Chain A
Amino acid sequence: MTEKFSIREYLRDLSLPFCKGCGDLTIMSCFLRAVNELGYKDLGRFVFCSGIGCAAWIPSPYFKADSIHVPHGRSIPVATGVKLIRPDLNVIVFGGDGDLAGIGLSHLIHAARRNLDITVIMANNMVYGMTGGQVAPTTPIKAKTTTTPYGNVERPFDTARLVAAAGASYAARWTTFHIEQLKESMKKAITNQGFAFIEAVSQCPTAFGRRIGLKTAPDMLRWFKENSVTLQEAEKMAEKDLEGKIVVGEFVHRKFPTLTENIYEIIKEAKKGAKKN
């Protein structure tokens, strides 16, 4: 670890767009620290893809790197095209819960199923923050948002578990309270061969917290701290006691052949076949 390290080394000279107390800055910082600790002096070996929403602005255009900022939900398809043509590059997707578990959910679970060798980091603020705080597929039941003034009537997705079930090679969930675990998890995800998914539960005091009685970032972080249980603890708890809890930890970490490995193997075979003909 370098003592004088500043995340500014990896950023363009632009002022950052996040609101006061936004968890996206924590996620950005954890990621750049992870990159630094892995020994990357710059982001030249990385390509970032992101869709629409606040979290999509973590890399684009702030990272001093190649970044592709695409329509809402479509970051993973674009990352698929990039990774298949340039398997030598680290392809990283940043997005929010609306972008990745709402409009782009199908792409997320298909990429997990294919074991596409990319890393997806989902900032889960449980709400559509950029548009002012509408209900999301990750909003806790009964929570008040601008489009659920009487409380949310739907259950939220357990996205990390869903992605694990779809076949991801690595899937983990932490919160912006767990900065050390989040950073270490990101290091594993970046170096992992195969589809890696990290759900970073994150605070949005501006568009969510203040509507559920948690007005400031510290209020929300305290909520994360007090309500998080590790996977190991959760296994011993009754389902009723798990209501409203955030289960954190690594859901899967396993190795399968990756999509890029399989495809380039086929190209090798097809070329041989073509020569015979």
Chain B
Amino acid sequence: MTKTRFWQGNQACAEAAIAAGCKFFAGYPITPASEIAERLALRLPQEGGIVMQMEDELASIGAVIGASWAGAKAMTATSGPGFSLMQENIGYAFMTETPCVIVDVQRAGPSTGQATKCGQGDVMQARWGTHGDYTSIVLSPNSVQEMFNLTVKAFNLAEKYRTPVVLLADEVVAHMREPITVPSPDEIEIVNRKKPKPTDKTFFGSKEIPTMPSVGQGFNIAVTGSTHNEYGIRYTADPTVHRQLVERLVGKIRKNAGEIIELERYNIKNCEAGIVSYGCTSRTVYETVELAKKKKINLGFLRLKTIWPFPDDVVQTMAKNAKILFVPEMNLGQIFYEVERAVHGKVPVVPINKIGGGEMITPEELLKKVVKDVKNVD
């Protein structure tokens, strides 16, 4: 049976993790993500799970990776400064195909910045934060309901594709309280990693997404962040082994982008102007669309629930009729450059940026800019 609850975003995230089957959480206190650890510290042991407060974020994600190889679904939660520290092991999780979920509740950076205030400055770090060739799956919730739904989805994608998945929330969505519908366990789709047959020996290749054993099952698994062959054996001199491995790891996400990407589309095919937005900023856009109608401006709206992989084709579809695109963000321009890259000069792309004090872009501010620029583009 579904239940209606009045929850904070971080609480919804914690409860969703439990609903998705999370049995291990490790983290380090940081605003504005701490409520996730606090909620799980209370709730997870009741479900037979473990919560560890580690000595830092390097250790937190390390413990998550260990727990995942021991067979548990595992998660950590942090904010920008901690997310930076986690990057080495995010690369390791990608290279070793370790399913895990990393929640980054964004605040205003760089550095300690404005620790309690909202920002959306980690979009590119979520895409390119670790070193080397890799690609990411990054989800962006814009409501308490989506903190729940997309946390479940993050676990499912991590398990299905054997890769780390980032839930890129922000302070506003994480700290706001809203009514949400909590589905009953039988209504929630749960994906579990594909386990090997007793005869399986290749857990790092030969298939696009190999099966994943756990330690202690007699498979003699060799796991390494160094370049390895399909048996997991370190192979650091052969160019072909490296090429095949890294191209497969990137390919398994790129090739399945259509299945991974989830979007909210409003009037994207017949609009005269379009807005691309995500996270808390996208909440402003709903009202802007209504206000624009009164000004006889026919706006389209594309909301990225999946930020990475980026939906180039959908943005291009919107640019077929729209004569101009707007990208409002609480940073100095990040997704703006992706939209500009996707439309490839076909229509002008306008960044609308606001940072500082956690102040959101208001519908009126957005409307003013839209009205002015739509007229100018004629």
Contacts and interface: CB of A to CB of B under 8 A. Distances in A.
A53 to B, nearest CB: 13
A217 interface: no
B55 A74 contact: no
Interface string B46-87: 111110101110111111111111111010000000000000
Contacts of B226: 69
A202 B259 CA distance: 53
A267 B66 contact: no
Nearest to A266: B45
Contacts of B101: none
Q: Using C-beta atoms within 8 Å of the partner chain, give the interface range for chain B.
A: 35 or more
A77 B216 contact: no
A86 B66 CA distance: 10
Contacts of B218: 44
B232 A82 contact: no
A271 B48 contact: yes
Given A66-B219, A68-B223, A82 B67 contact: yes
A106 B56 contact: yes
Nearest to A87: B70
B52 A71 contact: no
A88 interface: yes
B216 A107 contact: no
Nearest to A59: B222
Q: Majority SS of interface residues in chain B?
A: mixed
A77 B224 contact: no
B220 A81 contact: no
B62 A80 contact: yes
A85 B67 contact: yes
Contacts of A86: 70-71, 214-216
B88 interface: yes
Interface string A240-277: 00000000000000000000000100110111011000
Interface of A: 12, 14, 44-45, 47, 49, 60-61, 64-71, 73-74, 76-86, 88-89, 106-107, 110, 263, 266-267, 269-271, 273-274
18 contacts: A60-B222, A60-B224, A61-B222, A61-B233, A66-B222, A69-B234, A70-B62, A74-B88, A77-B58, A77-B66, A78-B69, A81-B66, A81-B69, A81-B72, A84-B63, A85-B24, A86-B71, A110-B59
